[in-house]
Each structure stands twice: as structure tokens, then as C-alpha cells.
């Protein structure tokens, strides 16, 4: 099992560019989520999904879109990157009492 995978590991964007962060899991988990982690702020929930075709907003959704066409994949789209979106992004999937995180994507917006 690969668990939760994320690509890319690192990305530099210019302000205004768009991009998609990929996330996939092979554990057949219904629940998936995206977090961002900033120094001194902890992990904050961006969007989550409770199953294919169902998504909802978390604590800090502005500037991000998600979709969930399959159980396995949960991509995060940045529509028009801003310096405030410089952060480390973690995708996670959950079943029962355990949540598994992907390795993270370190994004810098200049």
C-alpha cells in the first residue's frame, strides 16, 4: 500500500498563476481532507470530502477549489495564486480513529 500520496513535493508559483495539487489514496477511505500548515498557526482545514461527488468547505477555503470524482483522488486547485498562499499543504484520509497524512507539498508564491 502506498497510503496517501501527494505531488508535487515542492512548487514555486508567480502571483496570479493557477495550479493543481494532486492527492491520491489507495485505502478506499471515504473521508479525505486538505490542510495548510503555517508557522505558529497549526494545521487548518481548507476543504474536505465525505465521499465521491461530495465536498464541503473547511476553516480557510477562500482561493481554493476541490473536486472528488473518485474515491481515490482529491485534487486541490489554486485559482489565482497569492503570496498569502505560501504554505505547506497536507492531504489526509481518514477511517475510524486514524487519519493518514500525505508527505506534503511545500508551495511558495512570489
Partner 1 sequence: GQNIDQPTEMTATEGAIVQINCTYQTSGFNGLFWYQQHAGEAPTFLSYNVLDGLEEKGRFSSFLSRSKGYSYLLLKELQMKDSASYLCAVRLNYGGSQGNLIFGKGTKLSVKP
> Is residue 50 close enough to count as binding partner 1 by CB under 8 A?
yes
> Is residue 102 close enough to count as binding partner 1 by CB under 8 A?
yes
Q: How far is the CB of 15 from partner 1 (least distance, A)?
A: 25
Would you say 75 and 65 are in contact if contact means Cβ atoms under 8 Å apart? no
Question: Toward partner 1, which CB reaches closer, 41 or 79?
Answer: 41
> How many angstroms separate the CA atoms of 47 and 55, rounded?
7
Question: Toward partner 1, which CB reaches closer, 92 or 109?
Answer: 92
Nearest residue to 19 (alpha-carbon basis) of 73, 62, 77? 77
> Is residue 26 close enough to count as binding partner 1 by CB under 8 A?
no
b/e map 35-47, b = 16+ CB within 10 Å: bbeeeeeeeeebb
Q: How far is the CB of 78 from partner 1 (least distance, A)?
A: 20
Amino acid at each position: 500500500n502506498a497510503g496517501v500520496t501527494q505531488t508535487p513535493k515542492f512548487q514555486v508559483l508567480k502571483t496570479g498563476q493557477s495550479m493543481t495539487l494532486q492527492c491520491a489514496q489507495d485505502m478506499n477511505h471515504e473521508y479525505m481532507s486538505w490542510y495548510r500548515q503555517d508557522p505558529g498557526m497549526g494545521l487548518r482545514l481548507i476543504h474536505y470530502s465525505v465521499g465521491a461527488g461530495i465536498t464541503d468547505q473547511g476553516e480557510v477555503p477562500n482561493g481554493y477549489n476541490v473536486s472528488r470524482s473518485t474515491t481515490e483522488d482529491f485534487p486541490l486547485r489554486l485559482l489565482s495564486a497569492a503570496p498569502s498562499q505560501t504554505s505547506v499543504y497536507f492531504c489526509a484520509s481518514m477511517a475510524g480513529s486514524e487519519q493518514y497524512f500525505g508527505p506534503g507539498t511545500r508551495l511558495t508564491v512570489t
